[in-house]
Amino acid sequence: MEVLCLDMEGVLTPEIWHHVRDRTGISELNLTTRDVKDYRELMDKRVEICAKHGVTLKDIQKYIAELDVMEGAREFMDWARMRCPVFILSDTFYEFAGPLIAKLDYPTLLCHSIAYDESAKRLRYTLRQENQKQKAVEALRSLNYRVAAAGDSYNDTHMLRAANAAAFFRAPESIAREFPQFPSLHEYSELKEFLIENL
Closest CA to 40 of 136, 158, 130, 175: 130
> Do 2 and 145 meet the contact criterion of CB atoms below 8 Å apart?
yes
Catalytic residue among 2, 9, 48, 105: 9
How far apart (Å, rounded) are the C-alpha atoms in residues 103 and 120? Answer: 33
Q: In the annotation, is 22 catalytic?
A: no
Q: In the annotation, is 7 catalytic?
A: yes
Catalytic residue among 2, 7, 15, 105: 7
Residues forming the active site: 7, 9
